[in-house]
Structure 1
């Protein structure tokens, strides 16, 4: 083996520039410009957060809840998954689901939304992101003024929905109920969802 071949084998592949964050951290707009950024990268407290492979429960619940919500949405609202929300200069998380109000921008070039556009955020808890899903991200959503937040946990292989509503005086969420079998609410709009349909059991 030649010396050149040895050097080539020992030299690691070049790393993208975004591996090395600026001293002050990244800002929300950087997610639109960093090249070759992995899909679903979030920005929390100025740091990039990368998404790990998700479990079947997580994927199915998100898919089925999006479908269920569309049946109850007011005509001028929209439900989306896999879109980031700018909450501040150094905060741009990607909730599992968002519901947008009537003033949200619409078009093929939209890459994220402002907190003021969002009526509801939903997080389905993942093992690798439990602390972010349960604590940091809800705190950020509340501080940004998003009026409604749902946290979905897996309880006995079924989804349980923990519903929260914003206290505007404290910019924090107040728990308003835990739903195991049926999610029946009047805010942010009237809805009635059989939670068994979000992750139906299979008989083999």
Structure 2
């Protein structure tokens, strides 16, 4: 395989990119993230990943109480060198309706961050990103995985004393929780028509 010359922005400056640098950049590949000052590019989504995101976004938005909305694949400006893009977010309605900024959210806007694990994102989704979300104070985090064709959701809640997540449940067929609000999703039907 012959590679084309790389654009200058592929190589981070000394100390890495800041979130402000990242949010000003244009022409980046879709779903590029800034983690620890470096640009992270994602591989093409698999069908399972896309279907999980579609279902969770729809169900979370449908079931969210007034004042909260679900959104798909939007950046959170977490810290100086952190601007990840969760697969699904639940944010305040005020932040959802806000016109500026229109390309990202702040940590205080986010009620829930969800990551659907892909083979190439496994370490980031299981370790790096949850630690960053917890440090930023995002109270709820879900990790969704495909385990031999079966969707499994791992649910976490922020322990404010330690700025880390505590697991509160593992859900295989039906995701039924009462925080951050009452949620009941039949995850066994992902990809099926209703």
TM-score for both structures, normalised by structure 2? 0.92
The aligned counterpart of 1:9 is none
Equivalent residue pairs, number? 190
2:151 to 159, 170, 176: 159
- C-alpha distance after superposition, 1:134-178 (max 9, x if no partner): 000001100110000000011231211000000001000000000
The aligned counterpart of 1:29 is 20
Residue 104 (str. 1) matches residue 105 (str. 2)? no
Max radius of gyration: which structure?
1
Counterpart-to-counterpart distance in 2, 1:118 and 1:108: 16
The aligned counterpart of 1:116 is 108
- In structure 2, the CA distance between the partners of 1:50 and 1:181, relative to structure 1 (3 Å rule), is same
> How far did residue 192 of structure 1 move?
0.9
- Give the secondary-structure state (helix, strand or coil) at the position aligned to 1:164: strand
The aligned counterpart of 1:179 is 171
- In structure 2, the CA distance between the partners of 1:144 and 1:156, relative to structure 1 (3 Å rule), is same
> How far did residue 13 of structure 1 move?
5.6
- In structure 2, the CA distance between the partners of 1:197 and 1:13, relative to structure 1 (3 Å rule), is closer
The aligned counterpart of 1:50 is 41
Counterpart-to-counterpart distance in 1, 2:155 and 2:192: 21
Counterpart-to-counterpart distance in 2, 1:97 and 1:89: 22
> How far did residue 109 of structure 1 move?
5.0
- Give the secondary-structure state (helix, strand or coil) at the position aligned to 1:130: helix
Counterpart-to-counterpart distance in 2, 1:34 and 1:66: 27
Gaps spanning 5+ residues in structure 2: where? none
Gaps spanning 5+ residues in structure 1: where? 1-11
Counterpart-to-counterpart distance in 1, 2:139 and 2:5: 44
Conserved 8 A contact 1:28-1:88: yes
Conserved 8 A contact 1:64-1:197: no
TM-score for both structures, normalised by structure 1? 0.88
Superposition misfits of 4+ residues, deviation over 4 angstroms: none
> How far did residue 71 of structure 1 move?
1.8
Conserved 8 A contact 2:78-2:136: yes
The aligned counterpart of 1:133 is 125
- Give the secondary-structure state (helix, strand or coil) at the position aligned to 1:188: coil
1:51-90 residue pairs with structure 2 within 5 A? 51-90=42-81
- Give the secondary-structure state (helix, strand or coil) at the position aligned to 1:94: coil
The aligned counterpart of 2:86 is 95
Conserved 8 A contact 1:65-1:198: no
- Give the secondary-structure state (helix, strand or coil) at the position aligned to 1:104: helix
The aligned counterpart of 1:190 is 182
What RMSD over aligned residues (CA atoms) do the two structures have, in Å? 1.7
